[in-house]
């Protein structure tokens, strides 16, 4: 009976020891292999590399962006500077050219005005010279038939002769002014009857007695005898009357 109990206790103790050893194995750390360490190191290195790379790339991109912006700013500044210089140069050239053109325009206008003034007053100037040479009070008519212009002014022996010509038709007439003491009756006796005979008419206008024969005429006014002689073409009585009353 005792032997059997001893065996039973021995078995029980053996089982307990085995069970204890098995249970302790759960808390024993499995030894790390060298390959696992290498893999872990590589993995961590890769993770660090992956984590570091984006940060480095962002920094580089930022620096590149700054450099690009600076370069573009420099280029833009250079372009603006060149544009301003070119604009200033163009403005100077334009201003200089404008001043030259303005000066030329003013000079041309002045020359044109002088020529126009001289041409406009040339008959009067020439007539004044002729009047001084002859000593008579010669005058230029304020009315001249349309398209007729002065072709010449001459003076001799107390007489001034003004020739008019139509540039379009070639018609011409002459206005002669002579100093005289005649009145209208003396003109009739000494010139009209001998020159026109009985072929004339009398026009009285503004105190003047105008003798007209065809396109020729004669009258006296202020100590001057005026005569119109038509060399080609013809003048109407109205035109003759307008010339006489405008002197």
Question: How confident is the prediction along the chain (247 residues), in pLDDT tens digits per residue?
Answer: 444 455 555 455 445 554 444 444 554 555 555 555 455 555 665 555 555 445 557 677 767 777 787 777 777 777 777 777 777 776 766 667 677 777 777 777 765 555 444 445 556 777 888 778 777 888 999 999 999 999 999 998 889 999 999 999 999 999 999 999 999 999 999 999 999 999 999 999 999 999 999 999 999 999 999 999 998 989 999 999 999 999 9
Q: Which residues pair with 164 in a beta bridge?
A: 150, 173
Cα distances (Å, whole numbers) of residue 40 to 29, 31, 44, 54: 17, 15, 6, 22
On whether the CB atoms of residues 232 and 170 are closer than 8 A, the answer is yes
Location of structure tokens 């790339």:
57
The end-to-end CA distance of the chain, in Å, is 188
Task: Give the whole-angstrom CA distance, residue 47 versus residue 66.
Answer: 29
Task: Choose which CATH entry (3.40.50.1820, 2.60.40.10, 3.30.200.100, 1.10.3720.10) describes domain 124-246.
Answer: 3.30.200.100
Burial 201-231 (b: 16+ CB within 10 A, else e): eebeeeebbbbbeebbbbbbbeebbbbbbbe
Q: DSSP states of 22-56 as a string?
A: HHHGGGSPPPPPHHHHHHHHHHHHHHHHHHHHHHH
The residues spanned by each domain of the chain are: 124-246
pTM as predicted: 0.53
* Integer Cα distance of 172 and 241 in angstroms: 17
Backbone angles phi, psi at 155, to 5 degrees: -140, 140
Token digits of residue 125: 């100037």
């Amino acid at each position: 009976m005792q032997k059997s109990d001893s065996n039973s206790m021995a078995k029980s103790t053996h089982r307990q020891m085995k069970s204890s050893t098995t249970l302790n194995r759960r808390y024993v750390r499995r030894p790390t292999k060298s390959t696992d360490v290498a893999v872990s190191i590589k993995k961590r290195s890769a993770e660090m590399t992956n984590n570091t790379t984006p940060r480095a790339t962002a920094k580089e991109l930022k620096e590149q962006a700054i450099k690009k912006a600076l370069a573009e700013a420099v280029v833009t500044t250079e372009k603006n500077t060149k544009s301003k210089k070119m604009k200033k140069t163009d403005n100077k050239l334009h201003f200089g050219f404008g001043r030259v053109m303005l000066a030329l325009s003013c000079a041309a206008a002045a020359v044109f005005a002088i020529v126009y003034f001289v041409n406009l007053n040339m008959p009067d100037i020439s007539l004044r010279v002729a009047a001084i040479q002859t000593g008579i009070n010669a005058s230029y008519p304020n009315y001249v038939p349309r398209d007729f212009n002065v072709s010449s002014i001459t003076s001799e022996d107390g007489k001034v002769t003004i020739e008019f010509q139509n540039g379009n038709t070639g018609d011409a007439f002459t206005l002669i002014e002579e100093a005289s003491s005649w009145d209208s009756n003396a003109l009739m006796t000494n010139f009209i009857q001998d020159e026109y005979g009985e072929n004339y008419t009398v026009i009285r206008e503004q105190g003047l007695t105008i003798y007209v024969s065809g396109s020729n005429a004669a009258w006296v006014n202020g100590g001057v005898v005026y005569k119109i002689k038509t060399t080609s073409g013809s003048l109407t009585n109205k035109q003759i009357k307008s010339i006489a009353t405008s002197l």
